[in-house]
Amino acid sequence: MSTAAPVQNRTAGSAGFHLNRRGRFLFVGFPVILLAVLAAAAAVFFGAHGVAPAAASAEEPAAAVETVTVNYGDTLWAIAGRTAPDSPRHEAILRIGELNDLDGGELQPGQVLFVPAGA
């Protein structure tokens, strides 16, 4: 009978380094959470500046605007006639399109539009 302890053979992949739950969190979870927080902060920072209204230039004073809620059957022509009856309608329609970044004339009931304040 031999009293020598058996020799364990280790392969190249079993270096004896294993991560427990806390270690996996520190090496994987924490960096992911940190990146998510940084991405959210960047989105808030850049989003707030992207959505903020453009500053009025020194050359051109900011025009007053009002909001109008689109009703069923409303058109830009009708809204321009109601909100700026003294201005040419085509100019009022162009201004409404500029204020709201409209690509076409299609409106949806309930949509809120910025219009030039009572001309």
Task: With H, G, I as helix, E, B as strand and everything else as coil, classify residue 78.
Answer: helix
CATH 3.40.190.10 assigned to domain 65-116? The reply is: no
pTM: 0.46
83 CB contacts (<8 Å, ≥6 apart)? 66, 68, 92, 96, 115, 116, 118, 119
Give the distance from CA 6 to its chain's centroid: 64
Q: Could you state, in order of their start, the residue ranges of all structural domains in the chain?
A: 19-54, 65-116
* Distance, C-alpha 1 to centroid of its chain: 76
Q: 35-81 pLDDT, tens per residue? A: 989 888 888 877 765 555 555 555 555 668 888 999 999 998 999 88
